[in-house]
Structures are given as C-alpha cells and as structure tokens.
Amino acid sequence: MKKKKTVVVGMSGGVDSAVAALILKQQGYNVIGVFMRNWEESDPLTACPAAKDFEDVISVCDKLDIPYYSIEFIKEYFDEVFAPSIEEYKEGLTPNPDVLCNLKIKFNHFYQKALQLGADYVATGHYCRNEKATLLKGLDPGKDQSYFLYTIKKDILERVLFPIGGMLKKDVRELAQKYELDVYNKKDSTGICFIGEKDFANFLQKYIPKNPGKFQTLSGEVVGEHEGYAFYTIGQRKGLGLGGAGAPWYVIKKDLSKNIVYVERGENHPELFSKKLVANNLSFVANKSFLKESDLPYKLRAKVRYRQSDQECEIIKCQYSNGNDNDQKNISSIEVSFTELQRAVAPGQAIVFYKGDVCLGGGTIRSSSM
C-alpha cells in the first residue's frame, strides 16, 4: 500500500487555512495543522487574539480529525520582523512587515519546523497558485496575495501547496459552511499582526519617541505640528489633525534632516505623482538569471502597493555588484520607469513584478522621481 504524503498546514484560526486543510484531507494527504504564535500578547495595545485563534484551530482540526500543534516563533518574529520594521520607521520609511514575515517566519522557520515534523509538503491559506514551482496570482483578483510572497524561492516552492489559490473567497466560505467548520463566517483579520486594528500611531509611539516638528506646505507655510515624521507615510490623509476649510490635506514628502512633513491639499496634487523609482533588496522567484545589461529596457508590469492593478513599466537600469551582470544575485538595485504616473510611491514599500499571472519577484522601494 502506497504511503500517504504528509502536509503540514500553517493554520491561523481563519477560514482560509481551515479550508486549505479540509481540501488536503479530501485529497488524501496525511494532514497536520500547525498554529504559529508570533507575538507576545501581554501588551493591552496589541490586538493579536492568539488564544481565541488557537481555539478555532483546535475546533477545525477536531472536526477534520487531524492532529495539531502550536509552535512559538515569538523571539524570531521580534528579532527578524518587528525590530527591523521599527528601525525602518525610524528612518522615515514605510516598511511592509507582511513581506518580511513570509520571508523570515512562514517560509523559513515554519517551513524548517514542518520538515522536522516529517512533512513532504508545506501548505498555507494564501490566495496564490503554484504551478511547477512557478508563483502565480490567486484566481480571486480581490484576494490575490502574491504581492506579499515575492521573496519565496523556487526550491522552496517545490514543496509548497496553496490549496485555495484557485478559488474565490465566497466559494471558500461556502465550502467551510458546507462542512460545518465553525470559522466559515469569521471576519478576516486586517492590519499588521502586531498592531491589528489598534491605533497605528499610538502603537508606534511605544517604540519610537515622539519628535514634534512642523507640518509645512511646499511653499513654506506652516499649517500645524506633527508628532514625528516616523508616524506618517506618503499619501496619508487620515490622522494628520489638520482641519480648516477646503480639500483634505495629504502628506507629500518628508525631510528627515529638518524634521518637516510636507503637506498639500487635494488627493491628486502633482507632487504626489512619480514616473520613476529606484528599488533594492531585490528577490526573484526563479533561479535562472534575467535582467542582463543586454536585456534592458526590460518590459513587464508591476504593483507598488497591494490591491493596485498591474502597471505597465520597464526596468531601464541595473546596478550590479562584483561587475557581473550574468547572475541576478549580483543585482544591487534597479531603476524602473512607468508608462503612467504613479501616485503616493512610499519608500520602504514593495514593488512586485509580473509577466501575466506569473510573479517574477520584487524589491524594496528606496526613492521615486519624475
């Protein structure tokens, strides 16, 4: 008798990972559920309801008759995701901890732990697809999560399953209800795990001291006082505390050396738009090299924020370390030019590249310009 393949499923307590486990069980795999506890909840400002989420994992696993474990990655998450993110906020950037969590925790520490548990495959409830170790967008355009997974490598993908990537969210919930999983109507989690739905600025101020400065227009008019440039991002409208008649104020740019946050009225102010950007910390899914000097300009599409539609662009310049343009590992930075102007490009966020539904990889935005 052929031995069943074992799949370890990362289970969050939500409907997506629950249905992922259900589908794998139906497909005949030996399924093991693993709940990851990444954040210490002793702080009342935090909003990761880990205890309730683990109860939901237990309920689902009992219903599916599969074993489950709870594994802590609190120290790893703090050291490798949270602390670096705080440092980037201090530098005036807008980091993306979800990208870092996938890179450092889910597809590193969790992946290795799953292999120790005897996994042939690792699975998650992400809305994306894996075809022959090629990362593809999820079928549901409103839920596609490939943007957060661009750092995953081909050799890892060979042992990763995304069971719900070819489904619509409504069908996921209907399947959960059909099989009487208690989480079928559980609300989706929002926000960054270590902040959840709490006030973002108040949370950051526990780790970053206030550094009051001026809200100032580009013409030099002071229109208010801010609490510290680290607490604001390009394009931000809410939470500025700037009233007065007229169109809402938006953050245009930040001058760290002068501790000035520049603002202007109107969501389509010209200074909010960029034609080009520079990105580094590049990561490509495929092992084979591309982006040689002879390939430029390289036409493709990209997102500069989650849920944005793909934007037509081209990579027009690459900087290579060690003088070698034949190995993508030696690409230290790239310059990207977009066909259409891009609004509120925020340094620290990710730019992710696509060819059709295929996610090629991405990098961290460092600057933008016209």
128 is catalytic: no
Of the residues 61, 101, 128, 313, only one is catalytic, namely 101
Given the DSSP bridges, would you call strands 128-130 and 135-137 parallel, antiparallel or unpaired? antiparallel
Q: Residue 115: CB partners within 8 Å, gap ≥ 6?
A: 122
Q: Residue 295: CB partners within 8 Å, gap ≥ 6?
A: none
CA distance 173 to 359: 26
Going by C-alpha positions, the residue among 15, 11, 14, 9 that lies closest to residue 30 is: 9
Tokens 């100032």 belong to 216
48 is catalytic: no
Write the single-letter amino acid at 6.
T
CA distance 60 to 29: 16
CA distance 25 to 7: 9
Of the residues 48, 128, 193, 318, only one is catalytic, namely 193
CA distance 298 to 278: 15
In which region does residue 161 sit, left (phi positive, over 0), alpha (psi from -120 to 50) or beta (all else)? Answer: beta
Tokens 């967008």 belong to 137
Enumerate the active-site residues.
101, 193
